[in-house]
Amino acid sequence: MNSSKPKTIQTMKPETAAKKLGVLLSATPAEFQAGVVSRDELNELQSRPPAWLADLRRNGPHPKQVIAAKLGISISGLTRGGITEPLTTTDIDALKAENPAWLERERSIQAETRKEALRLKQR
């Protein structure tokens, strides 16, 4: 006999869901922070983001992995550059325009790292 168990719903903590969505948990609505998020709810948020999620992705504040990606550097490079707090898109754009020496240095380190990874992959 084939006794099928009822399918359990996969859920995750709000911290995990926020990370998967690329947003800062503390900037999300209270109801998002207080509950659990099912896999289906996460898929729905990713495919049809509500206004609050679209706004957070566009304007921030952004988590460090998003800041690093927007600046073209590593998360370690952010720390070496003294960036420890979340930044908004406006802050990131201002930093790009200013282009401080540490940012140039971190971008060149990141470029070398990518070049070396590509070289090793082609072996």
pLDDT digits (tens, 9 = 90+) for 80-101: 999 999 999 999 999 999 999 9
- Please choose, from the candidates 20, 107, 22, the residue with its C-alpha nearest in 3D space to the C-alpha of residue 71: 107
Instruction: Give the model's pLDDT for residue 102.
Output: 94
Amino acid (one-letter) located at 99: N
DSSP assignment string, 39-107: HHHHHHHHHS--HHHHHHHHH--B-HHHHHHHHTS-HHHHHHTT--S-B-HHHHHHHHHH--HHHHHHH
Query: Model pTM?
Result: 0.78
Please give the Cα distance from 57 to 88 (Å, whole number): 10
Structure tokens at 18: 């926020």
Instruction: Give the model's pLDDT for residue 11.
Output: 87
Residues forming beta bridges with residue 38, ordered by sequence position: 11
Flag residues of the chain having pLDDT under 70.
1-6
Instruction: Give the model's pLDDT for residue 71.
Output: 94
